[in-house]
Amino acid sequence: MSALPEATPTPTTPEREAGHVLAVRGPIVDVRCTRLPPIGQALHLRVDGETATLEVFQHLDDTRVRAIALRPTIGVARGDPVVDTGGPVTVPIDDACLGRLLDVLGQPLDGGPALDTQTLYPILRPAPLLVDTMPAESILATGIKVIDLLCPFVRGGKTGLFGGAGVGKTVLMMEFMHAVSTAYNGVSVFAGVGERIREGHELWHEMKESGVLPRAVLVFGQMDESPGVRYHAGFTGLTYAEFLRDRGFGEVLFLMDNLFRFVQAGTEISGLLGRMPASVGYQPTLVTEVASLQDRILSTRAGAITAVQAVFVPADDMSDPAVTAILGHLDSTVILSREQASCGIYPAVDPLVSGSRLLDRRMVGERHYHVARAVREYLARYKELEDIIAMLGMEELSADDRRIVNRARLLQRYLTQPFQVVADHTGIAGVTVPLEITLADCERFLDGSYDQLTEDQCYMRGAMS
């Protein structure tokens, strides 16, 4: 049997009074309780005629708890009554969640009606039992040449998308969503953690225009909201992904932008609770918090959740404690390079540092393994020769090196690709390239069959024939 809690109907027992507000400091609310609620319990209080949700994070003594508010605390006063819901923070769950834009508590942000359901799921849930999980050992082909060739996604695995602002993370995520919804008849869940309102608004409209939205759920914890909201947005999105997986909706793609903001929200909460910071100022519970999210992204007999998570790298330091904690959970790493983007190479994937644990001859087969290795060797040799070319010119290279450089530049242009979701903006029809065709084309580049082509003839196109 699965270890995941079953969906629970809305409790019929009335909420009981838990106590009253003792102090308010920003999103932190101290409550004096008549009966001490457990850690993780949801409490309610009334603010300006609306219900505000608090989550218990800390027991201060036998009568006081410290909670994080999941909404602004403006209007909360000392002495306000607090009621105990009798359970953890939950969200409404229903098939009608597809095509909707929701907040961290499952309430609509798109102006539509609330989800008409009495079924609730707790957002903080244990991972499935090990015996119920399935190994992630197959490729989830995306139709994106550079991804499928050099850093293939693991079906039911976790991929980190590392990059700064403006290198194409959001466009790449939207293309993944489009590929899963069309090629696999699957669904997508997008968790916007600390999203700017402008970014969320643009993403919502772009997804509607590209036809992706009806097969997707969007959950936003916006940048101007409480750190408790930003911290839980990923858990809420993952809860909807688990529901869709267990309901048999096929391939489920879970996207999170940005996982680093999840870590930052945890750091804020830790500081507000008075915990002593650990390495580089991060919370002492960093590794546990990251694991509590990542360990729920699993394949079961009902289906698979494939996660793609954007990760901001502070100061481009891959040894940062937050990045290190995240890297340990990933099956594939896709590094987006500003240098690639500045050269017009889109998607701006750095082929030399991106990789996947699936790129092993036992997993992908001898052909795929050798083609990917040869392509990477050509690109690496070109990278080594760039300084010599810049200072002395191509004429100073040996004939073998000139041939390698020419083929590497052709391969570099070939691995660019126009995307379906931005075809209206670029004026170039998007293409999807099966892995088998990508391998065949790369073999021809490597054996010299396309040496006579110009770089422009390989740029921003799909298959070569």
| Residue numbers annotated as active site | 169, 195-196
Report CA dihedral (370, 376, 381, 382) to the nearest 10 degrees: 130
Give the closest residue to 136 by CA, choosing from 299, 281, 369. 299
Q: Are 234 and 308 contacting, i.e. CB atoms less than 8 angstroms apart?
A: no
Cis preceding linkage at 185, omega within 30: no
Q: What angle do CA 430, 434, 440 make, to 5 degrees?
A: 115
Ramachandran bin of 280, using left for φ above 0, alpha for ψ from -120 to 50, beta for the remaining angles: left
Residue 14 tokens, joined: 């009335």
3-state secondary structure the chain: CCCCCCCEECCCCCCEEEEEEEEEECCEEEEEECCCCCCCEEEEEEECCEEEEEEEEEECCCCEEEEEECCCCCCCCCCCEEEEEEEECEEECCHHHCCCEECCCCCECCCCCCCCCCEEEECCCCCCCHHHEECCCCECCCCCHHHHHHCCCECCCEEEEECCCCCCHHHHHHHHHHHHHHHCCCEEEEEEEEECHHHHHHHHHHHHHHCCHHHEEEEEEECCCCHHHHHHHHHHHHHHHHHHHHCCCCCEEEEEECHHHHHHHHHHHHHHCCCCCCHHHCCCCHHHHHHHHHCCCCEECCECEEEEEEECCHHHCCCCHHHHHHHCCCCEEEEECHHHHHCCCCCCECCCCCEECCCCHHHHCHHHHHHHHHHHHHHHHHHHHHHHHHHHCHHHCCHHHHHHHHHHHHHHHHCCCCCHHHHHHHCCCCCCCCHHHHHHHHHHHHCCCCCCCCHHHHCCCCCCC
Dist CA 167 CA 435 (whole Å) = 24
Task: Look at the chain and count its residues.
Answer: 465
